[in-house]
Amino acid sequence: MTADSTYTKVMQGLLLIDKPSGWTSFDAVNYVRRLVASVEGKKPKNCKVGHSGTLDPLATGLLVLLVGKEYTRRAGELTKLDKTYEVTMKLGETSTTADGEGEKTIVSDKQPALTEIEQLLQQFTGDLMQTPPIYSAMKVGGVRAYKLAREGKPVAMEARPATIYSNTLTSYNYPYVRFTSSVGSGTYIRSLVEDIGKQLGTGAYMSDLRRTTVGKYSIENAEIIENLDASSIADKLESL
């Protein structure tokens, strides 16, 4: 595929990516932006590529990228979509980041009964108030919370409304609980896991997370990002 202006209109659309662990959402955006630039014959800084909602670096799964000005300006429509996650929760410890990256603290060796876990997964559904993790992209006084936390500054996070449609247990092999969670926009799975751990009296942190749906878009239709190249990316774009 040669880089010429005939591809300018083609490079508009949605790109469904299966984000690997260790990549930030910004890493994925930059990778795709470079491909778009090579196709359009532009510098990467002149190509519009964005995303519809971040995934934590350790998380994997569906990341919806928006390519081209006509799509990046509509990012707000997609950030409000419902999402589904496959969650692994580790009991017995807490983490400063609420996931596997943080410093761990042992809380309890209590092994909750399966029925107790099922009841709590059901309890944490519906409309509820949730406090975002301090290591999050939420802004506090105009500054990202994670930046303040990394600098050792106090971070006061306020509870905010969240909607959790369902939590379905898939397996329990102490200390690991695996479940599927269907949630509304703005819900933090790390906070959900921490709240469940507190109720159980064991402490808990999110040890693994995979996003499988964003609205009508599914991980089944996502591309492995490392498999994309300049000769294929235009064919993978979808219309909104």
pLDDT at 149: 54
In a 3-state reduction of DSSP, which class is residue 175?
coil
CATH of domain 83-214: 3.30.2350.10
- pLDDT number for residue 78: 85
pTM listed for this prediction: 0.89
Active-site residue flag, 235: no
Structural domain boundaries of the chain?
A: 5-80+216-236, 83-214
- Which segment of 52-56, 85-89, 156-160, 233-237 scores lowest on mean pLDDT? 156-160
Percent of the chain scoring above 70 in pLDDT: 86
pLDDT at 217 over 80: yes
141, two tokens: 């006084």
Residue tagged active-site, from 4, 18, 27, 56: 56
Q: Which residue has the higher pLDDT, 196 or 153?
A: 196
Which CATH superfamily hosts domain 5-80+216-236? Answer: Pseudouridine synthase (3.30.2350.10)
Can you read off the two tokens belonging to residue 7? Answer: 């591809």
Residues 67-86 have pLDDT tens digits of 999 999 988 888 889 999 99
For residue 112, is the peptide bond before it cis, meaning its omega torsion is within 30 degrees of 0?
no
Angle at 157 between CA 189 and CA 63, to 5 degrees: 35
Q: What is the pLDDT of residues 172-187, one digit of tens each?
A: 999 999 999 999 998 9
Question: Are domains 5-80+216-236 and 83-214 of this chain identical in fold?
Answer: yes
Average pLDDT of the segment spanning 217-225: 95
Written as six digits, the tokens of 89 are 């929760």
> How many CB atoms within 10 Å of residue 90?
23
